[in-house]
Amino acid sequence: MKRILKNLLISIAVVQFVIITSCNNTQKDTNSDSKEDYLNGKISISGAFAIYPITVRWAEEFQKIHPKVKIDISAGGAGKGMADALSQMVDLGMFSREVSEQEQEKGAWWIALTKDAVIPTVNADNPFIKDLKIAGISREKFIKIFITGEISSWGELCGDTINSKINLYTRSDACGAAAMWGKYLGKNQEELKGIGVFGDPGIADAIKNDIYGLGYNNVIYVYDIKTRKKYKGIEVIPIDLNGNGVIDENENFYDSLENIIPAIKDGIYPSPPARDLYFVSKGKPEKIVVKEFIKWILTEGQKYVKEAGYVQLSEEKVMNELQKINN
Domain that holds residue 188: 117-265
pLDDT one-digit tens code per residue, 22-52? 344 333 333 333 444 579 999 999 999 999 9
The number of helices, as runs of H, and strands, as runs of E, in the chain is 13, 9
pLDDT at 303: 96
pLDDT, average across residues 195-202: 97
What is the rounded average pLDDT for all residues in the chain? 90
Same domain, 126 and 110: no
pLDDT, average across residues 209-223: 98
Same domain, 109 and 121: no
pLDDT one-digit tens code per residue, 283-311? 999 999 999 999 999 999 999 999 999 99
Q: State yes or no: pLDDT of 7 exceeds 50.
A: no
pLDDT at 162: 79
Task: Say how many domains are in the chain.
Answer: 3
The distance between the two most distant Cα atoms of the chain, rounded to a whole number of Å, is 117
Residues 184 and 232: beta-carbon distance below 8 Å: no
Contacts for 161 with CB less than 8 Å, ≥ 6 apart: 155
Residues 99 and 110: beta-carbon distance below 8 Å: yes
pLDDT one-digit tens code per residue, 237-266? 999 999 999 999 999 999 999 999 999 999
User: How long is the chain?
Assistant: 327
Per cent of the chain over pLDDT 70 is 89
Same domain, 79 and 111: yes
Residues 46 and 93: beta-carbon distance below 8 Å: yes
Does the residue 33 lie in any domain? no
Does the residue 62 lie in any domain? yes
How far is the C-alpha of 16 from the C-alpha of 264, rounded, in Å? 64
Does the residue 220 lie in any domain? yes
Same domain, 178 and 258: yes
Same domain, 62 and 122: no
Same domain, 86 and 48: yes
Q: State yes or no: pLDDT of 190 exceeds 70.
A: yes
pTM, full prediction = 0.86
Same domain, 257 and 122: yes
Between 3 and 64, the higher pLDDT residue: 64
The DSSP letter of residue 99 is P
pLDDT at 37: 53
Does the residue 270 lie in any domain? no
Does the residue 285 lie in any domain? yes
CB atoms within 10 A of CB 165: 10
Between 162 and 83, the higher pLDDT residue: 83
How far is the C-alpha of 42 from the C-alpha of 70, rounded, in Å? 5
Residues 168 and 179: beta-carbon distance below 8 Å: no
pLDDT one-digit tens code per residue, 105-128? 999 999 999 999 999 999 999 999
Amino acid, single-letter form, for residue 165: K
User: What is each CA distance from 219 to 29, 75, 205, 239, in whole angstroms?
Assistant: 47, 16, 14, 14
Q: How confident is the model at residue 134 (pLDDT cuts 50, 70, 90)?
A: very high
pLDDT one-digit tens code per residue, 62-95? 999 999 999 999 999 999 999 999 999 999 999 9
Same domain, 241 and 194: yes
Q: CATH number, domain at 186?
A: 3.40.190.10
Q: How confident is the model at residue 327 (pLDDT cuts 50, 70, 90)?
A: confident
Does the residue 75 lie in any domain? yes
228 phi, psi to nearest 5 deg? 70, 10
Same domain, 177 and 239: yes
How far is the C-alpha of 298 from the C-alpha of 312, rounded, in Å? 10
User: Cis peptide before 201, with omega less than 30 degrees from 0?
Assistant: no
Same domain, 162 and 261: yes
